[in-house]
């Protein structure tokens, strides 16, 4: 029997909360819309994958591996979350290897003021990162910005919000 629990969140204490589309007057419920896309990708509340080899690979390549990474990767690694228009948020090692390197991640972390670990990609160039508080960031080469406190907010920002609403927020959460 499939669980109806929502996805777990990764340490939400320090990052600012993004308003849902409904709160912004858009008429869509963040939890339902984002959760639907997540469920369509194959995610379930009891999904778990082995990630020890991924952690080892990242460490061998010189990346920082922040504490929330393993919990997140255990639940979401290998998923491809796709919007109705075909845009995809991908959480896999091929994305990490293709979109970034340890030097860029270290630079993003220094700029943000928190260590970060890459978790996947969006579109053709954005790397998705998780920081030591569990907040998510997106980065394109020298550009970076906050994506959300949890996976549902990341899905909302990347796959549901209209393109005009997608601006990378450089403000570091309190």
**pLDDT per position as a tens digit, 5-37:** 444 433 333 333 444 433 443 434 443 589 999
**Does residue 93 contact residue 57 with C-beta atoms inside 8 Å?**
yes
Residue 161 DSSP class: S
- Tell me the average pLDDT across 74-78: 95
Strand (E) positions, 61-115? 80-82, 88-90
In the chain, how many domains are there? 1
Residue span of the structural domain in which 93 resides:
30-165
Residue 21 inside a domain? The answer is no
The conformation of residue 92, written as its DSSP 8-state character, comes to S
pLDDT tier at 173 (50, 70, 90 boundaries)? Answer: low
Measured between alpha carbons, how far is 92 from 1 in angstroms, rounded to an integer? 27
12 lies in a domain? no
CATH number of the domain bearing residue 142: 3.40.1580
Q: Among 87, 97, 134, which Cα is nearest to 115's?
A: 134
So what's the pLDDT on residue 45? 92
């Amino acid at each position: 029997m499939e669980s109806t629990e929502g996805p777990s969140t990764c340490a939400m204490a320090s990052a600012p909360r993004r308003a849902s589309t409904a709160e912004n007057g858009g008429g869509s419920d963040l939890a339902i819309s984002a959760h639907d896309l997540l469920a369509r990708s194959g995610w379930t509340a009891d999904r778990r994958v082995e990630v020890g080899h991924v952690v080892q690979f990242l460490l061998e390549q010189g990346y920082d591996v922040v504490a929330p990474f393993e919990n997140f990767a255990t639940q979401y690694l290998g998923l491809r979350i796709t919007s109705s228009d075909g845009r995809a948020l991908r959480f896999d090692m091929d994305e990490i290897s293709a979109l970034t390197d340890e030097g860029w991640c270290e630079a993003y972390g220094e700029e943000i003021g928190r260590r970060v670990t890459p978790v996947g990609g969006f579109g053709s160039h954005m790397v998705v990162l998780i920081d030591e508080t569990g907040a998510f960031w997106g980065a394109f080469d020298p550009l970076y910005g906050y994506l959300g406190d949890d996976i549902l907010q990341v899905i909302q920002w990347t796959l549901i919000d209209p393109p005009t609403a997608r601006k990378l927020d450089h403000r570091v959460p309190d």
